[in-house]
Amino acid sequence: MALLETTRIDHIDRIRTAYIMWRDFPVATISEEYSSITHESDWVIRPIWENCERAMREFGHRVDIAGIDLSKHQDEYIRRYVPGFVEQRTVPRGRPDCRAWLDMLHMPGYDLFEMMCRSHASTGNDNYYVSRTPDIVIDVHDPKYPLDIPDFDTSRYGWLRQGDTEV
Bridge-based pairing of strands 128-131 and 160-161 is unpaired
Q: What is the pTM of this model?
A: 0.89
Q: Is the pLDDT of residue 165 over 70?
A: no
User: Cβ(80)–Cβ(42) under 8 Å?
Assistant: yes
Whether residue 9 lies inside any domain: the answer is yes
Res 144: pLDDT: 87
Q: Domain range for residue 113? A: 2-137
How many domains does the chain contain in total? Answer: 1
Q: Would you give the DSSP letter of residue 70?
A: G
Whether residue 118 lies inside any domain: the answer is yes
Q: Return d(Cα 15, Cα 117) in angstroms, integer.
A: 15
Whether residue 116 lies inside any domain: the answer is yes
For the segment 145-153, the average pLDDT, to the nearest whole number, is 83
Whether residue 133 lies inside any domain: the answer is yes
For the segment 32-55, the average pLDDT, to the nearest whole number, is 95
Whether residue 88 lies inside any domain: the answer is yes
Q: Is the pLDDT of residue 117 over 70?
A: yes
Whether residue 145 lies inside any domain: the answer is no
Whether residue 58 lies inside any domain: the answer is yes
Round the average pLDDT of the chain to a whole number and report it: 88
Res 142: pLDDT: 87
Whether residue 27 lies inside any domain: the answer is yes
The better pLDDT of the pair 66, 162 is held by 66
